[in-house]
Chains A and B, each alone.
Chain A
């Protein structure tokens, strides 16, 4: 099993550009999450999904969009990149949501200049 995979690992964007961060898991987990990690600020939840076709906002959803058409994939879309979106983005999945451990991907380091 590959676990949770994220692509790309690194990306530099110009202000106003768009991109999609890819996340996939092969553990058949229903729950998936997107976090951003800013230096010294811990993890903040952007969006999450409790199953295919269902998504919901986290703490910091502005500037992002998600979709969940399959159990395996949970892409995160940045429509108009801003410097404030410079961060490390982590995707995670869980078999049992709030009560279970989360399995994290390796992260995507995004810089917006």
Chain B
């Protein structure tokens, strides 16, 4: 069965610090997809990135970067030079090729302190 674990419930860092959000997943499929979503205080959920299981290249988008490692079943998310606007709950999610469901982790609440 698929499972997503975000062990960090809550993290606080001072603005401009770098921060990494951890995501560990479990799946029996060889083909699967991993996602990160952001939920700011306003409540809506915003898609950040998708990665398929055959693409282990790390990705960078501005201050955001993602590290996908199949060997450790992890898909970690790093924010460089954090800003107050990065304060939000971040969700990691997993879907398997043979299933239309997407399973979300419990989320990590990130506080960026000015």
Interface string of A73-113 (1 = CB under 8 A from B): 00000000000000010101000011111111011000000
* B101/A107 in contact, CB under 8 A: no
Task: Give the distance to chain A from B27, nearest Cβ to Cβ, in Å.
Answer: 12
Number of interface residues of B (CB under 8 A): 25
Number of interface residues of A (CB under 8 A): 27
Task: Give the distance to chain A from B51, nearest Cβ to Cβ, in Å.
Answer: 11
* A98/B95 in contact, CB under 8 A: yes
* B47/A98 in contact, CB under 8 A: no
* A98/B44 in contact, CB under 8 A: no
* B104/A43 in contact, CB under 8 A: yes
Chain A residues, CB < 8 A from B47: 101-103
Give A33 to B45 CA distance when docked, in angstroms.
Answer: 13
CB-CB under 8 A for A88 and B91, given A45-B103, A97-B100, A101-B35:
no
The residue on A at minimum CB distance from B107 is A42
Chain B residues, CB < 8 A from A43: 45, 91, 104
Give A43 to B46 CA distance when docked, in angstroms.
Answer: 13
* B91/A42 in contact, CB under 8 A: yes
The residue on B at minimum CB distance from A4 is B44
Chain A residues, CB < 8 A from B106: 40-42
CB-CB under 8 A for A42 and B105, given A56-B100, A98-B95:
yes
CB contact list, B15-67 vs A, under 8 A: 33, 35, 37, 43-47, 50, 52
* A100/B50 in contact, CB under 8 A: yes
Q: Is A50 an interface residue (CB 8 A)?
A: yes
Can you list 12 A-B contacts with CB-CB less than 8 angstroms, sorted by A residue number? A40-B106, A42-B91, A42-B106, A43-B91, A48-B101, A59-B101, A90-B45, A98-B101, A99-B33, A99-B50, A101-B50, A107-B44
